[in-house]
Structure 1
Amino acid sequence: MTHLPTVKTGDALTEYELTDLDVDRHLLDLSGRSLVVFTSAGCASCRWARKSLAEMELPIEQLVWIDAANNPGVVQRYDVFHLPALFAVKDGSFYDQVSCRLHANELCLALDAAFSLPPEELP
């Protein structure tokens, strides 16, 4: 596996900051469950997500952050129309967009539902 740009590593959760240039390769290489989160500095909900998601007990091993303002290519491929936008990825496969409020219980249910779907290729 190539070197990933690690933002923060906790006991059970690692965070990555990816860009248009490296997102495809790294998402294919990551093993386990990942929550891919598109954010932007000017978005209040995104700032809250950035601060809070890593502290929640979620059924994932990685949080992958993508700055939507600076990475238009991946934003277009994932059809991101609102922020924050969340997507479930596992072992290099795409599962689904995660649509729910940013509360631990709702996120756990939405992630479990997403990961129960058949996997697809990454966008």
Structure 2
Amino acid sequence: MTELELTDLDADRLLLDLPGTSLLIFTSIGCASCRWARRELGKLSLPVQRLAWIDAADNGGLVTRYEVFHLPALFVVHDGQFYGALQSPLHCAELTLALDTALSRPAEELP
């Protein structure tokens, strides 16, 4: 699984162009759950091609557009289509189920 660091400057273009499924994760260094997610999510066997990390403190434009109110915040993009937020514990089985559920919904416009 690939891991990317996205910013206000490149996130839109990359998310529209990248094939497969991206798990978009907003984090911040001051958030204990975010630090845990950063350390552990890459070790899980998730059905995604990449984890796309966004530092919420440095990318206020994306935080505003995605309406991020809590951290970590997770979203799904598949083949350039936005499938919304994931509300799930950060464990493999629960995340896999949440991903499957999100991808079964109609796609939306990227925020």
Structure 2 portions without partners, runs of 5+: none
Question: Is residue 65 from structure 1 mapped to residue 53 from structure 2 by the alignment?
Answer: yes
Structure 1 portions without partners, runs of 5+: 1-12
Moved over 4 A (4+): none
2:18 and 2:53 mapped to 1: Cα distance?
14
2:97 and 2:16 mapped to 1: Cα distance?
24
Deviates more, 1:113-122 or 1:64-73: 113-122
2:43 to 49, 55, 64: 55
2:76 to 78, 88, 91: 88
| Residue identity (%) | 64
State the partner residue of 2:8.
20
Using CA pairs under 8 Å that are at least 6 residues apart, name the structure with larger relative contact order, 1 or 2. 2
State the partner residue of 1:76.
64
Letter of the 2:56 counterpart: A
SS at match of 1:69: coil
Letter of the 1:26 counterpart: L
Calculate the TM-score normalised by the size of structure 1: 0.89
State the partner residue of 1:106.
94
Calculate the TM-score normalised by the size of structure 2: 0.98
SS at match of 2:57: helix
Pairwise CA RMSD: 0.5
Shift in Å at residue 120 of structure 1? 1.3
For residues 23-70 of structure 1, what are the alpha-carbon distances to aligned partners after superposition, in whole Å with 9 as ceiling and x for unaligned? 101101110011000000000000000011011011100100000000
Question: Is residue 120 from structure 1 mapped to residue 104 from structure 2 by the alignment?
Answer: no
Letter of the 1:54 counterpart: G
